[in-house]
């Protein structure tokens, strides 16, 4: 019998691929001149071959061009065209956050095509199946279930790979996402809207079960794909660690205390596992106060788009989580509006004294990035952290994806009036007034409770075996998977060589 750990290492059954499918994939890649980047190259873009770098300089970051696969990393410059030595980040000062701890935020909007880092997760899930002959781009459709950006990343990668990508996402997500999808899908029918909003993940799963009835549809469920874990652990985790090491060169007294990240699919949280392994950092899981699933086993709905809830992702290493923090969508709505309007930024510069270079980065924060930041503030207040303590996080995407929400936010959060007084009130309430409510430091029993909560989704609803479900409780299970990325890189080299060999 195949052990759960071995099945996880082979990424959801990639061993079941066929040589015929692999030949079809190689032929398609030759036809389109596609070369797959290795994960080591995405973790450290300085290792990307010089011929790729030279050719990439002539490709726009939003083109559906195969070379843009080599931009799926954290080292893109602000214009998203060139590469920088250290990933783009901002250190949020006490003048903005009200806490002495250094809150460091990396910018996901610098990723290509979708201006969000979820395109990396999509590639991490699709590439292994292509190499191993499990997915045929000449016949199969790639189905991407999502509550935010992952489905856009999947559609982008699918288009580059020469196959049809199908997006499944709740109908109440921001209009900008649907506008983008309308330009990238092959057929309008490839955008499937499910009922509800951020919190309606089960409805997404139900639609996946329906489309899987057609054997031509292959579902890449980010909530259960170990490729999502591997990509973020090795690529995102390495980028975060690099930024911390860069900061430490200027101040040897700095300590990496924690990383905060919204639950989502739990892919980005895997980067926190890497920071715990490398630096001893704590792991802080963020969710909505309006739907505190992990905190209180409760349900609800909210507008912090892209973080998912009312379930525990299968790839969430819950037994390694140190804190769970709830953030209100009233806070993220209000601060988003302030950060992306000149009136709000002017107040922060002139009345609060936040440095201009910091204020200029604030439109790079989407809802979940703000939630991650507020969770870091709560953690800093809970532990009374000082200026030598560093809390790291990411802004998955930027404000540009949410501007269609602004009329709602203006009316609902500001009563239709946005001026210096309303900015001061919202900033004081939601950032400076951020308290340690909806905050739990995890005991072993708390971790067990959250782990057990996942049973109802994965065993009862999704048919995962109890053996595979329980295996994830041990840290040995996760540690034994880490080296699979090196095996994938060897396979990518061999695959690219076959594509290049036209004899």
Buried b (16+ CB within 10 A) or exposed e, 232-256: bbbbbbbbbbbbbeebeeeeeebeb
Torsion angles phi and psi, residue 410, rounded to 5: -55, -45
Q: What is the pLDDT of residue 13?
A: 41
Burial class (CB in 10 A: 0-12, 13-18, 19+), 497: exposed
Q: Using alpha carbons, select from 335, 265, 317 the residue that is nearest to residue 121.
A: 265
SS3 content of the chain, % helix, strand, coil (to 5): 50, 10, 35
Delineate the domains of the chain, giving CATH numbers in brackets: 89-112+227-452 (3.40.50.1100)
C-alpha to C-alpha distance for 333 and 331, rounded to whole angstroms:
6
Per-residue pLDDT tens for 84-102? 999 999 999 999 999 999 9
Alpha-helix runs per DSSP H in 217-297 = 226-231, 237-250, 269-279, 293-296
Per-residue pLDDT tens for 394-406? 999 999 999 999 9
pLDDT bracket for residue 502 (50, 70, 90): confident
Per-residue pLDDT tens for 230-269? 999 999 999 999 999 999 999 999 999 999 999 989 999 9
Q: What is the mean pLDDT of residues 130-149?
A: 93
Per-residue pLDDT at 198 exceeds 80? no
Reduced to 3 states (helix: H, G, I; strand: E, B; else coil), residue 289 is coil
pLDDT mean across residues, the chain: 94
Which structure tokens are listed for 355?
């440095």
C-alpha to C-alpha distance for 375 and 435, rounded to whole angstroms:
10
Torsion angles phi and psi, residue 165, rounded to 5: -105, 135
pLDDT bracket for residue 1 (50, 70, 90): very low
Q: What is the pLDDT of residue 305?
A: 87
Q: Kindly report the pTM of this predicted structure.
A: 0.95
pLDDT bracket for residue 201 (50, 70, 90): confident
DSSP 16: G
Torsion angles phi and psi, residue 358, rounded to 5: -75, -45
Per-residue pLDDT tens for 12-27? 444 456 899 999 999 9
> Residue 106's Cα: distance from chain center in Å?
12
pLDDT bracket for residue 6 (50, 70, 90): low
**Cβ–Cβ under 8 Å, residues 269 and 281:** no
Q: What is the mean pLDDT of residues 361-382?
A: 98
pLDDT bracket for residue 148 (50, 70, 90): confident
What percent of the chain is modeled with pLDDT above 70? 96
């Amino acid at each position: 019998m195949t052990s759960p750990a071995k099945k996880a290492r082979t990424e959801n059954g990639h061993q079941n691929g066929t040589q015929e499918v692999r030949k079809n994939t190689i032929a398609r890649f030759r036809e389109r001149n596609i070369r797959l980047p290795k994960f080591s190259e995405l973790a450290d873009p300085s290792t990307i071959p010089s011929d790729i770098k030279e050719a990439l300089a002539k490709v726009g970051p939003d083109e559906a061009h195969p070379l843009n696969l080599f931009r799926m990393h954290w080292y893109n410059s602000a214009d998203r065209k060139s590469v920088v030595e250290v990933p783009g980040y901002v250190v949020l000062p006490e003048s903005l956050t009200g806490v002495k701890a250094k809150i460091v935020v990396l910018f996901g909007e610098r990723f290509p095509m979708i201006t969000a880092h979820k395109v990396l997760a999509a590639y991490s899930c699709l590439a292994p199946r292509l190499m191993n002959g499990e997915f045929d781009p000449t016949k199969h459709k790639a189905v991407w279930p999502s509550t935010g950006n992952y489905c856009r990343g999947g559609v982008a990668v699918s288009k580059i790979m020469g196959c049809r990508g199908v997006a499944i996402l709740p109908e109440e997500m921001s209009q900008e996402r649907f506008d983008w999808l309308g330009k990238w899908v092959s057929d309008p029918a490839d955008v499937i809207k499910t009922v509800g909003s951020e919190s309606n993940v089960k409805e997404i799963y139900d639609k996946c079960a329906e489309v899987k009835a057609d054997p031509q549809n292959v579902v890449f469920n980010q909530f259960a794909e170990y490729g999502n874990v591997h990509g973020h652990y090795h690529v995102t985790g390495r980028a975060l660690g690099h930024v911390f090491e860069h900061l430490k060169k200027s101040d040897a007294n700095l300590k990496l205390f924690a990383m905060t990240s919204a639950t989502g699919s739990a892919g980005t949280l895997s980067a926190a596992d890497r920071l715990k392994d490398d630096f001893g950092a704590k792991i802080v899981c963020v969710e909505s106060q309006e739907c505190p699933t992990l905190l209180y086993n409760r349900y609800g709905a909210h507008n912090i788009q892209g973080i998912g809830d009312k379930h525990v992702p299968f790839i969430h290493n819950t037994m390694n989580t140190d804190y769970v923090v709830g953030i209100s969508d009233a806070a993220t709505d209000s601060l988003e509006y302030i950060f992306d309007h000149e009136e709000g930024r002017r107040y922060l510069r002139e009345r609060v004294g936040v440095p201009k270079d910091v204020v200029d980065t604030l439109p790079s924060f989407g809802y979940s990035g703000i939630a991650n930041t507020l969770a870091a503030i709560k953690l800093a207040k809970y532990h009374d952290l000082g200026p030598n303590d560093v809390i790291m996080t990411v802004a998955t995407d930027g404000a540009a994806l949410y501007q269609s929400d602004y009329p709602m936010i203006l009316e609902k959060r500001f009563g239709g009036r946005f001026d210096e007084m309303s900015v001061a009130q919202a900033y004081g309430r939601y950032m400076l007034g951020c308290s340690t409510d909806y905050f739990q430091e995890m005991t072993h029993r708390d971790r067990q409770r959250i782990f057990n909560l996942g049973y109802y989704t994965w065993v009862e609803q999704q048919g995962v075996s109890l053996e595979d479900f329980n295996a994830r409780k041990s840290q040995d299970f996760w540690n034994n998977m880490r080296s699979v990325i090196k095996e994938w890189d060897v396979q990518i080299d061999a695959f690219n060589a076959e594509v290049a060999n036209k004899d």
